[in-house]
Amino acid sequence: MDPDGPTQDERNNDTACVPPRTAELLRAAGRDHAQQLAALPGVITDALAGVRRLRRRARERGEQPDLARLLRAPATFMNHVVTPRRTFATATLSLAEVKQTSKHMGITINDVVMAMTAGALRELLLRYDGGADQPIVASVPASTDRSPDRISGNELGGMAVSLPTHIGDPLERVRLTSLATAIAKENNELFGPELYGKLITYLPPIAAPPVFGWLARRDARNRLFNVPVSNVAGPRTRGHLAGAPVSEVYSVGPLIAGCGINITVWSYVDQLNISVIADDRTLGDTHEVTDAMAHAFCEIRRAAGLSGELTAVDTAMP
């Protein structure tokens, strides 16, 4: 025993000074860590089973030459080391026209949004890369908490969706986008929607900042995906904040390492609101993306035999 160290009475006094609530939280954290370690073999087993299911289903589907392959996201003008500066742009389309388009073509609103995104990014790829000869990959968040009792917070997984930016015909682009989203949803279910969240919890908190910092500085090709795209079904009735009506809803996610653009779409009452955040290296003007989204929507509607003239949404700012 160190004669200069604390006595047993002093150590007991230190323990006694720990507030009861803090001690309770520390014990709960210890139990959580123990349960997490005990669950690890089962999580690994589930993940391996999910991978086997994905491979088996991919063999059953056969070759899909017009869809991007997993871990094969091509290099594009969007993918580079992201700069610290951010630029932002928005645009609003008529939700009624989006619904009309989806019903007329027999696809979902999400399919319309993803096909619109594919057409917009094709326009930008032709402008910035000088060509668009292969599909790219979008990372699309998917909710894993389907409980009707949830009133706040998010519990998300992710899907890799092939965007047919190499296809010039807008109707074929819509068809391939609808096929790609259906496959992505099926793959998400086959792998296990909750597994992504379970696996990420095993990344030690102390390791996360240096790992993500290294990824942010790494000038290497991101093979997982090219761009994050979110489509959120918002409220159908107008909300209020402190008594004031909420006229529009826009939001964006962060720029992920190696991805200089993030696209988020909200439907709200009678609006389809497009938000884009980018760094200052990727685009000359972030409105290039929102303008291209509107162009792509008009192109889809004309190809489907609908009016290509967009209706102004009076409830949104010009």
Strand partners, 137: 162
pLDDT at 146: 60
Closest CA to 313 of 96, 90, 102: 96
Number of domains in the chain: 2
Q: Average of pLDDT values for 43-65? A: 89
pLDDT at 10: 47
- Residue 192 covered by a domain: yes
Token pair of 32 as six digits: 């959580």
Q: What does the pLDDT look like over 81-140, one tens digit per residue?
A: 999 999 999 999 999 999 999 999 999 999 999 999 999 999 999 999 999 999 999 999
Full domain range(s) for residue 39 = 1-62
SS3 content of the chain, % helix, strand, coil (to 5): 45, 15, 40
CA 120 – CA 197 distance, rounded (Å): 31
| Whether pLDDT at 149 is above 70 | no
CA 259 – CA 280 distance, rounded (Å): 12
Parallel, antiparallel or unpaired: strands 261-268 and 227-233: parallel
Examine the domain organization and report whether 35 and 165 are in the same domain: no
| Whether pLDDT at 6 is above 60 | no
| Cα pseudo-dihedral 135, 141, 146, 147, rounded to 10 | -170
CA 152 – CA 232 distance, rounded (Å): 15
Token pair of 171 as six digits: 């109707």
Token pair of 177 as six digits: 């986008």
Examine the domain organization and report whether 106 and 200 are in the same domain: yes
Q: What does the pLDDT look like over 169-222, one tens digit per residue?
A: 999 999 999 999 999 999 988 888 777 777 777 777 777 778 777 777 877 777
Examine the domain organization and report whether 175 and 240 are in the same domain: yes
Q: What does the pLDDT look like over 270-299, one tens digit per residue?
A: 999 999 999 999 998 999 999 999 999 999
- Residue 241 covered by a domain: yes
Examine the domain organization and report whether 85 and 198 are in the same domain: yes
Q: Average of pLDDT values for 35-58? A: 86
How many CB atoms lie under 10 A from the CB of residue 259?
A: 24
100-120 in b/e form (b: 16+ CB < 10 A) is bbbeebebebbbbbbbbbbbb
Stated pTM of the model: 0.83
Token pair of 238 as six digits: 């107008």
CATH number at residue 198: 3.30.559.30
Strand partners, 240: 245
- Residue 312 covered by a domain: no
pLDDT bin (cut points 50, 70, 90) of residue 148 is low
| Whether pLDDT at 72 is above 90 | no
Quote the distance between the C-alpha of residue 216 and its chain's center. 18
pLDDT at 216: 76
Q: Average of pLDDT values for 302-315? A: 93
Q: Give the dihedral sign, CA 296/302/305/307.
A: positive
Examine the domain organization and report whether 71 and 47 are in the same domain: no
Examine the domain organization and report whether 3 and 101 are in the same domain: no
CA 164 – CA 178 distance, rounded (Å): 10
**Rg (the chain; Cα; Å):** 24
Q: Average of pLDDT values for 38-42? A: 82
Closest CA to 80 of 281, 290, 288: 281
Which SS3 state, helix, strand or coil, does residue 49 take?
A: helix
How many CB atoms lie under 10 A from the CB of residue 199?
A: 15
Strand partners, 266: 232, 273
Parallel, antiparallel or unpaired: strands 136-143 and 156-163: antiparallel
Q: What does the pLDDT look like over 233-279, one tens digit per residue?
A: 999 999 999 999 999 999 988 998 899 999 999 999 999 999 999 99
pLDDT bin (cut points 50, 70, 90) of residue 4 is low
- Residue 310 covered by a domain: no
- Residue 161 covered by a domain: yes
Decide which of 283 and 42 is more confident.
283
Q: Domain boundary at 38, 62, 86, which?
A: 62
How big is the CA angle at 154 (ends 25 and 231), to the nearest 5 degrees?
165
Which SS3 state, helix, strand or coil, does residue 108 take?
A: coil
Parallel, antiparallel or unpaired: strands 227-233 and 240-241: unpaired
Phi, psi (rounded to 5 degrees) for 64: -125, 80
Examine the domain organization and report whether 98 and 148 are in the same domain: yes
DSSP assigned state of 72: -
Sequence-distant (6+) residues with CB within 8 A of 181 are: 108, 110, 111, 114, 140, 161
